[in-house]
Structure 1
Amino acid sequence: MPTAWRDYIENSLLVTGWLKEAGIYGLTDGSCWAGTECLKTLQPLHVLRLSEAFIDSAEELLIGDKRFSCVQQERDVLLGKSTNGSGSCVICKGSKLLIISLCDNAQLGNAYSLVSRLVRYLRDRGY
């Protein structure tokens, strides 16, 4: 496992300004490998529930105390819009990891492209 997961958060995801928060988690145990203040405190059980949403076709996504309606689901990507209208989420699944990110509604398309590109890169390297 790379020791620089934090670098992926800072230098690949947050540097663009498109994301407000991001976290990288173990897919099988929900452990946080790296994350911003808001997302690094997610409980493993909550992360595991999000990973199950890829199988169960979830209508609602819960990230910490924030609720999102699932507006698009693909094989390895979930997109959500806040139920209170402020903010969106992008959740992407790799082979061994899950990236959870939060963004403004206006940045959802950019966030989707950015996070899914990083997940493809990491999946190609076994993650």
Structure 2
Amino acid sequence: MSWQTYIDSNLLGTGKVTEAAICGLDGNLWAYSKGFQVMFTEATAIIKGIQSDSSVLAASGIKVNGTKYMFLQAIKDEFAYGKKGNDGVCCIKTGQCLIIGTYENGIQPGECSVAVGKVADYLRNSGY
């Protein structure tokens, strides 16, 4: 399965994720939904915030595709969540990559985090 298939089928295809990206822990994009390009600096800031110091995200917010989300929560080496009005972002780290999913248009935060979490669990179990 290609990385793009995870984006198109397993994330956007659920109807619970509006836009998504998968990038390596070096910050390089592996796949993303159309028009949703996470910048290298955005990805590395999120990765650093999840891996070692979430206070950076708490101070500056979570920036994705040029949009700044208010930092809500992070658990070291696992995830970070952010919100902007009724929209939000869910970022989950695996052993080798970061999965980013956004939600809007009435999608509940928990629905997005479950969809992104399922892909993260699958990738972890597959060695990623």
TM interval, shorter chain, is 0.7 to 0.9
Please, which runs of 5 or more residues in structure 2 have no aligned partner? none
Give structure 1 regions of 4+ aligned residues with deviation exceeding 2 angstroms: none
CA distance in 1, matches of 2:31, 2:110: 23
Question: Is this contact kept in 1: 2:17–2:115, CA < 8 A?
Answer: no
Which residue pairs with 2:8 in the alignment?
A: 10
Which residue pairs with 1:37 in the alignment?
A: 34
Which residue pairs with 1:22 in the alignment?
A: 20
Question: How many aligned positions are there?
Answer: 121
Question: Is this contact kept in 2: 1:77–1:116, CA < 8 A?
Answer: no
Q: C-alpha root-mean-square deviation of aligned residues, in Å? A: 1.5
CA distance in 2, matches of 1:96, 1:90: 17
- Deviation string for 1:43-83 (max 9, x for gaps)? 2222111101112112111112211111121231111101x
Identity of aligned residues (%): 27
> Which residue identity does 2:82 align to in structure 1?
G
CA distance in 2, matches of 1:86, 1:120: 26
